[in-house]
Amino acid sequence: MWRALAMAVFFAGSASAQAPRSAIDWLSESLLQPPNFVITPPGRSGHTEDVSITAVPLDKVSRDAVGLLPPERTGFAGALWGDLTSDEIVALLDGMAHSELPEVAALFKRVLMAQSDPPVDSGNHSRLLLARIDHLFNMGALDEAESLILLAGASDAEIFRRWFEIALIDQRTNAPCAALKERPALSDDVATRVICLARAGDWNAAAITASLGETLGNISEKDADLLVRFLDPVMFADLPDPGIPEPLDPITFTLREALALPRPAEPLPLPYLNIDRDLRTPARQRIQAAERLVQASAIPPTLLFAAYRGTRAASSGGAWGRAEFVQALDAALVREDDAALADAVSAAIRGFAEARLLYAFADEYGAALAEYQPGEETGKIAPQVRRILLLAGQPLENWQGLGGADHDYVQFASQLAKGAVITGISPYNTALADAIHMAFSNLTPPRADLPLQLEKIDAGNYGEVLLRAINLLSPGREADPRDIHEGLYLLRKLGLNTPARRIATQLLLIEPHST
């Protein structure tokens, strides 16, 4: 009863007003005047990918075959899935564990973005495409997920829903709302229609749609309350918080953000952190969101370091401390102040290692440090710098022979970086180094089912074995050494020697150790 009365008041008020008042400007602004839609080229974390997209008529290719990276860019076989069915592939993808080891996460991301032959049973259902989009979304890689959608074409309801949700989080709803206006059959979701009507400035139609949706049972009372409050947050400011649903869906999350309603107590899911990358978000919150997304290999480190550089630290420690490290290091490089640079690099390595962001630091500063001519003070920290250069894949020449001997792991990583042939018995005295040494010396892992995996490669089930290798390596240093041995061994058998060496280098060097 109260909602019907409120709607009547809303309609009466809207006769003399073009749009309702808004609690927070950013969402209403993005709905009314969204920016021009731009596809951001995806890339492996920390590296720009030059993506060439070739248009092919969709009646001639299965959507499941669509990808952003062709086989010559991924290094994968074009017939990635062999004789697996769509359901079997989706089950394998759903069983993948998240990895905090950057190269492992990047390798899985590359699988999700890869062009490949479609599954043997691929048809119009696009199950594999939808699963790939969902996995990219869940890891926070919204640009890549959206690019897949646009390449495939958002011509059915399931693909359109994903497109709209991504666009809403990224605050650029113009394109999907225009598509919905042209083809109303793309969505019968009440909230989607209400938001698009509001974006077009048709607030009366938006309110009527919300009211009818609840009356017809197409939307819950809680969702109707949220939409009504969104349409006029001042008029309905006294409504109680409808509560945070579990799971929290993208539309509810963005509407709650617009109304300044509380966030969940636990950390936000990765895709929703993209909303905090907006320049109007408080700097500390923006940095923390970028840090989590970089840790998940969802965005490149360059975006994180831009956030560090774009603010003045309001306190010390944590995210502010890392911003201070970056700014101090930048200043020392510009001045070529050798003593200040030595202090800044040492402090930054400690800080970024503790935050599980050492790889991002190496990626950002590796090239600059490789070119720097070390002086007396920086020469003393040469072992630390060599570790960073190896993580970044940069040459060591300027820093060789300085600062004392390297840790065994740095020496081993240096051999891997040079592409040296690993032979003989492992000279190391740790299970981790022994496992890596055996994988690169072609010693067969002690697993009874290994011949079966090799048979699968010969039979053309390349992707299945690749996902097994990724899963074995996902726990990083926490993995069983036998899993590390087998995972690296299988990658090499699949012809992925470069990713295998990068993973081995990260296993050896990312974690703190004495140098």
Report the pLDDT value the prediction gives residue 102, as an integer from 0 to 100.
95
Confidence at residue 49, expressed as pLDDT on a 0 to 100 scale: 41
Strand partners, 69: 114
Domain boundary, last residue among 349, 372, 406: 406
**454, 460, 464, 467: CA torsion to nearest 10:** 80
Residue carrying the six token digits 């974390």 = 45
Task: Count up the domains in the chain and report the number.
Answer: 3
* Together in a domain, 488 and 430: yes
pLDDT of residue 60: 54
User: What stretches in the chain show pLDDT beneath 70?
Assistant: 1-61, 512-515
Where b means 16+ CB within 10 Å and e means fewer, 427-440 reads ebeeebbbbbbbbb
Place of tokens 């989590």: 292
Sequence length of the chain is 515
Residue 74 lies in a domain: no
For residue 69, report the phi and psi dihedrals to the nearest 5 degrees.
-125, 120
Q: Identify whether 140 is part of a domain.
A: no
C-alpha dist (Å) from residue 92 to 131, 326, 471: 11, 40, 10
Alpha carbon of 238 to those of 9, 232, 475: distances in Å? 15, 11, 48
185 and 332, same domain (yes or no): no
Read off φ and ψ for residue 405, nearest 5 degrees: -75, 150
Residues 349 and 498 reside in one and the same domain: no
Domain identity same for 235 and 301:
no
Sign of CA dihedral 331, 335, 338, 339: negative
Report the alpha-carbon angle 115-118-119, nearest 5.
Answer: 135
Domain boundary among 253, 278, 303: 278
What end-to-end distance do the CA atoms of the chain give, in Å? 71
- C-alpha 300: how far from its chain's center? 8
Whether 474 and 98 have beta carbons less than 8 Å apart is answered as: yes
Range of the domain at 311: 282-406
- Other CB atoms within 10 Å distance of the CB of residue 280: 9
Q: What pLDDT does residue 317 have?
A: 85
399 lies in the same domain as 294: yes
